Amino acid sequence: MSEQPNPIHEAIESYWGKRCPEHEDGCPVCEVWKQYYELLNPKPTNMLERRLGGVLLDEADVMRNFGATANL
């Protein structure tokens, strides 16, 4: 039984080309493949990924902000 081709992988390879043998920062081909693999393997997080003014908020911050805006 053969594995189904991944259409995103195929599109990236068709447009950008195959992965470089080694990752090089600033290389557009390396960066697009890095983003693809990060999409496939998201990093686990215990924090809510909401940003307010560029600051990552944890769950307690979100609840405090909600209380302040809801006048609680």
pLDDT tens by residue, 27-57: 999 999 998 888 887 765 555 555 555 555 5
pTM above 0.95, yes or no: no
Which pLDDT belongs to residue 39?
84
Which pLDDT belongs to residue 41?
79
Distance CA 51, CA 68 (A): 17
pLDDT(70) > 90 = no
Indicate left, alpha or beta for 54 from its phi (over 0: left) and psi (-120 to 50: alpha).
left
Residue 55 has what DSSP assignment?
Answer: E
Provide the pLDDT confidence category of residue 5 given band limits of 50, 70 and 90.
Answer: confident
Distance CA 62, CA 53 (A): 13
Residue 53 has what DSSP assignment?
Answer: T
Average pLDDT taken over every residue of the chain:
74
Measured in whole angstroms, the distance separating CA 6 from the mean position of its chain's CA atoms is: 18
